[in-house]
Amino acid sequence: MDLGIAGKTALVGGASKGLGYGCALALVREGVNVVIVARGPDSLSSAEQRLLQARSRCDGFVKTVAADITTPRAVTPYSPYMPTMTL
């Protein structure tokens, strides 16, 4: 299915396993660039490798961030990956 979101960038929290990983996987399969975030660097690295293998389009990226995103201080260094949004 083509959702028309290829080339966009998504930040996915809790992405090393479970629902977060499932969301990241679905996005990667749609050609979305993903920045995956989780607290455990080892499981994050494993998730990154699996996502890179699942890419349907070769021009996207998968970046990893080992952080606890429940605090604003932890997220700030990674905000350049995300476009500026006005709500």
The DSSP line for 18-84 is HHHHHHHHHHHHTT-EEEEEES-HHHHHHHHHHHHHH-SSTT--EEEEES-TTSHHHHGGGGGGS--
Query: Position 38: which residue type?
Result: A
Q: What is the mean pLDDT of residues 3-12?
A: 89
pLDDT of residue 34: 92
Domains and CATH numbers, the chain: 9-71 (3.40.50.720)
- Helices 41-54 and 18-29, packing angle to 10 deg: 30
Residues in the chain: 87
The pTM for the full model equals 0.79
Give CA–CA dist 63/77, Å, rounded: 13
pLDDT in tens, 19-78: 999 999 999 988 899 999 998 889 999 999 999 998 865 667 899 988 887 877 776 666
The pLDDT confidence band at residue 86, using thresholds 50, 70 and 90, is very low
pLDDT of residue 71: 77
